[in-house]
Structure 1
Amino acid sequence: MAIDLKTLNHSQLNELISKAQVRQNELRKEKVGKLREKIHAMIKAEGYTFDDIFGGKTAAAGKRRSGGVVAPKYKNPANPEQTWSGRGKRPRWFNEALKAGKSEKSLLI
């Protein structure tokens, strides 16, 4: 199928390019599907599951772990209900206590 590109006008070239890109994406999806089937067949032939090999949905690459609750490390001497884990931005009461001459060690729980 030879197409003489010199005979096509601008809109015809754009249409040809868009059709070619669509077809290219279709071919890529077909190839990925076949590869996926081969990988699943190999895993099954060895007696494993996909999750055994690749670690399930929660261990997906690039995902951040959700932060759990961290035990408090410091407490406000004026109000013991106010605590801070030592992570993130310092609370106002912590900064004020430091300005008042307290040390970080004296604020430890």
Structure 2
Amino acid sequence: MNKDLKSMSRKELEKLAVDVKKALQNAQSRDRRDARKAAERAAAEFGFTLNELGDEMPKKEVKAKGPKKPVKKSKPKYADPSNASNTWTGKGRQPNWFRAAVEKGIDPSTLEI
């Protein structure tokens, strides 16, 4: 069933597209029917029907989305000696003032609050 698509008119191509879509739907229905029959045979081997097995299938639990818990801010551990409002918790990236003080040779324990 090789068709030369380049030589077909637009109407012929549109009809072919509709026919292909119908054929795909029929093939999917046929595959679904075959899969169901195979599943019924497999369940029957164990003495069950698909309906009996379907009731026992675990259902996916959906977590309730409520308000998010507030994030606790960490307490500052270090303070800038030249400006006490500059503080750092000791977590994350080092602030420039802390890095500069350490580079000057100041011991980090002296910067602790």
TM-score by length of 1: 0.49
Q: Which entry has the higher C-alpha Rg, 1 or 2?
A: 2
TM-score of the two chains, using structure 2 as the length reference: 0.47
